[in-house]
Structure 1
Amino acid sequence: MALTGLLLGALLGLVLQRGRFCVTGAFRDLWVARNTRWFTAFMIVVAVQSIGVFALQALGVITLAAKPLPLIATIVGGLIFGVAIVLAGGCATGTYYRAGEGLVGSWIALAMYALFSAVMKYGPLKPVNDGLRALTVPQTTLYDTLGVSPWILVLVLTALVGWATARHLTRAASTRMATLPPRRSGLAHMLFEKPWHAFATAVVVGLIAIAAWPLSFAAGRKDGLGITTPSANLTRWLVTGNPASIDWGVWLVVGILVGSFVAAKASGEFRVRVPDARQATRSVVGGALMGVGASLAGGCTIGNAMVQTAQFTYQGWIALAAMVLGVGVGAKFFVGTHRRDGALSGASGVDASADAAGEAPARPLRLTPTP
């Protein structure tokens, strides 16, 4: 059953790569471009997953177990992680799928992220990590505090996300995208040439996140999508050779690399791109801080901001706010003010993660003419 992690990870990697779905760009657009399109897409993932997660629990397929909130570690870790992903040029999954595209800067950031996740969870910084995460408050979930059914919060979240989605779709209906003549046809065109809509990509990612729960449970791992601990476990296996380190989550992250590589090759977007010395240094520092921050916070933009939020845990929503704030701080210091005209906007067609990494996007810019 652990191999289902590899298959689901490959599917996730393909979808992330073809949909250009990177959470760093979604968060950064809020500050730099004042654009909420990709953040809305991110929240679609959370809303879709929340419906599936609580449906699976109601059916007895999975059991959700919220833990006391490590408040200080969550805030500090989230802030560190937010700044780090700006430096590294991508979030955890964004770094994985960009590595599959051939970006050497992402290779560096990914290696440092996995290494420092292991250092925090199993190495010399484990006492620091465990000590800070042991400082907890009893609050676990929002619905427990409010004394309501989680389905009330699911309905509220879905309604808000639906409203935001409708607003963006209405605006988009007034513009037309200028596209190049297709070179492929049929399924090949749909999968590997035609640009994927951000919201459609988000729905697919949400469905994959739902599928991760029963598949992971069946393999003995009682959780959904997760990147940080599997990355640390992969590092521990590479160092010790202990097969006990290889679980469903490790196969998942390996699958993301495989899937993104296949998607990049099939779409003609794979190319080895070497960063300059400045960006290579940022990749080293950013990747290391990603590992530190995600370990402290109890998860990255996937395990915390996407999975924990779908369960309406305090940890997830506080971490999300801290990460968004951290990205804002990182953008202020590491992203030039000349980009405020929308150069980093997901709506502009520019790959934000590649742009931040100092490397040109693999695909040509698509202009949006006025009708």
Structure 2
Amino acid sequence: MIFVNDMTLLRAWLLALGVAIIGSNLIEDMNLLGDEGLARQAFAPIAAIVGGYIFGLGIVMAGGCGSGVLYKQGEGQFAAFIATVGFAFTLIMSYHGPLAPVMKWIKSYKVSIGSGDDAIPNPALWDLFNAPNLKWLFIAIIVAIIIPVVWKGGPLGKQPKKGWSWSLGGLLVGLVIVLAWWTSYQWGGRARGLSFSGPLSEMVTFLLMGDSMAKNDQMFSFAGYGSISWSALYIIGVPIGAFLSARGLSEFKLTAPKQVDELLRVFFGGMVMGVGGALAGG
């Protein structure tokens, strides 16, 4: 049995998920994302499960997920920077280095629908049931499952004295995800959305070699230095936003572990995250 003492973060995550699902599919149906629509990933179940498990192990050791170690840098945590270095190191190894063939082999098992001209290489949930016309029915069922869990947490209850409530935070995160789909299409050439593993790799390769090496995305010249993807740019924005928020709440503080062992742990945790994130398609 799994014991959960506090479901606040889970409820915030579910609220963000519901808003993101509704909003992203709505703007797709409104033709705001071009002919391609949402750039859905291929469904590679083995890679997703194994990669997600490895990524979860890394999160525990690194003290945060891909976005977590980035925003914690904005709060002044040096350990988060070390974790990000480890994260980036194995991402490069996985996407462009000696681990790339292994990743490609594990990801080779993919679920697709149909064949020939009618094939759907990146099926959505409703495509798996051969019911594309019932997309909004599937979405309604998912949202109907989410609503009772979220509502039980009292989303309209008393607001905290400092910062945002979990419900407002979840709502805003969901809206940011929807906005990311639209902005990535408008300025990035493809409705790629919001993730951190791939974009961090693209930022690092840009810094090291002047090229984000994003195969499917439109590239831009950045200050005459080289070619960078749109997604790589928001890797810069996350710690900046976290810094401004931390300063506004008087929570910014430069901190560093006193023990070398902790730095080694978060660095190794970041490396584990990089392998898991690249494998799962983060």
- What is the TM-score when the length of structure 2 is the normalising length? 0.83
- Using the TM superposition, give the Cα deviation of residue 98 of structure 1 relative to its aligned residue in structure 2, in angstroms: 0.6
Q: Percent identity?
A: 30
Task: Confirm whether residue 257 of structure 1 aligns to residue 226 of structure 2.
Answer: no
Shift of 1:137: 2.8
Q: Structure 1 residue 110: deviation in Å?
A: 1.0
Structure 1 unmatched runs, 5+? 1-29, 180-193, 300-371
Where in structure 2 are the equivalents of 1:263-278 lying within 5 Å? 263-275=245-257, 276-278=259-261
Deviation of 1:245 after TM superposition, in Å, equals: 4.7
Give 1:109 deviation, angstroms.
0.6
Alpha-carbon distance between aligned partners in 1 of 2:56 and 2:19, rounded to the nearest angstrom: 24
Q: Residue 34 of structure 1: SS of its match in structure 2?
A: coil
Whether 2:147 is the aligned partner of 1:162: answer yes
Q: 1:177 to 1:150 in 2, by over 3 A?
A: closer
Pairwise CA distance, 1:235? 1.0
Q: Residues of 1 paired with 2:61 and 2:79: CA distance?
A: 11
Query: Which stretch shifts more, 290-299 or 142-151?
Result: 142-151
Decide whether aligned partners of structure 1 residues 164 and 33 sit closer, same or farther in structure 2, where only a CA change above 3 A counts.
closer
Equivalent position of 1:282 in the other structure: 265
Asked if 2 retains the 8 angstrom alpha-carbon contact of 1:97 and 1:260, the reply is yes
| Greater helix content | 1
Deviation at 1:237, TM superposition (A): 1.3
CA shift for structure 1 position 67: 4.7
Contact 1:236 1:245 in 2 (8 A): no
- Unaligned ranges ≥5, structure 2: 114-122, 212-224
CA separation of 1:282 and 1:31: change in aligned 2, threshold 3 A: farther
Q: Is the 8 A contact 2:16 2:170 kept in 1?
A: yes
In the TM superposition, residue 124 of structure 1 has moved relative to its aligned partner by 2.0
- Aligned pair partner of 1:70 in 44, 52, 60: 44
Query: 1:117 is matched with which residue?
Result: 91
Inter-partner Cα distance in structure 1 for 2:75 and 2:206:
25
1:65 positional shift = 4.5
Matched, 1:130 2:101: no
CA contact 1:233–1:245 (8 Å) conserved in 2: no
What is the count of residue pairs matched by the alignment? 253
Paired letter, 2:55: F
CA distance in 1, matches of 2:196, 2:227: 14
* Structure 1 residue matching 2:194: 3-state secondary structure: coil
Normalising by structure 1, we get a TM-score of 0.64
SS of aligned partner of 1:246: strand
Q: C-alpha displacement at 1:42, in angstroms?
A: 0.3
Q: Deviations over 1:65-111 (max 9, x none)?
A: 44542222111101000111011111111111111111111111111
Question: 1:223 — aligned with what?
Answer: 192
Query: Given the alignment, which residue of 113, 125, 131 partners 1:142?
Result: 125
1:231-246 equivalences under 5 Å are 231-242=200-211, 245-246=227-228
